Amino acid sequence: MKSTRQNVILEIISAQDIETQNQLMNELSKRGIKSTQATLSRDIKELRLVKELAGGHYRYAVPSQAGSAEHSERLRKIFREGVISCDTAMNLIVLKTLPGLAQAASSAMDSMDIPALVGTVAGDDTVFMAMRDVKSAEAFCEEVRKLF
């Protein structure tokens, strides 16, 4: 049901300008799919939909390649300006950030296409990253250190 609903959401936003979650919920309902606002919010987050300016108003859209490049640069900036240190413990990486920036760094990691990354956990100023193997963890930390 979830994948069907999400596929229909993608069809809807590609066919017409949808400005609000209410509009999207109405369009889903017209297609026989009932959804709550909370479920719709989760779907939007999971699909990584963005609001883009089109014709003088905002609408939901799948991020474009150009937007993805801009997004990637913003994430790199978070790392350059917010990450203080990077260290490994076997296949785990510990990133230390300025206070309050661990969530942003963790989100940045989760949204990047890093095949060796299994997952992240963030506190206030610390991010734990689980990598598939020791070699991947060490290589990643070396890349992060180059940003300092």
pLDDT tens per residue across all 148 residues of the chain? 788 899 899 999 988 899 999 999 999 999 999 999 999 999 998 888 888 887 778 888 886 544 455 656 666 777 778 899 999 999 999 999 999 889 888 887 777 778 899 999 999 999 999 999 999 999 989 888 887 6
Q: How many CB atoms lie within 10 A of CB 103?
A: 15
Cα-atom radius of gyration of the chain, to the nearest Å? 19
Confidence (pLDDT) at 39: 92
- Name the CATH code of domain 66-145 (choices 3.40.190.10, 3.30.460.80, 3.30.1360.40, 3.30.56.10): 3.30.1360.40
Confidence (pLDDT) at 31: 93
Confidence (pLDDT) at 50: 85
Annotated domain spans of the chain = 2-62, 66-145
Q: Is 2-62 in CATH node 1.10.357.10?
A: no
Give the bridge partners for 86, in sequence order: 95
What is the Cα–Cα distance from 21 to 36, expressed in whole angstroms?
10
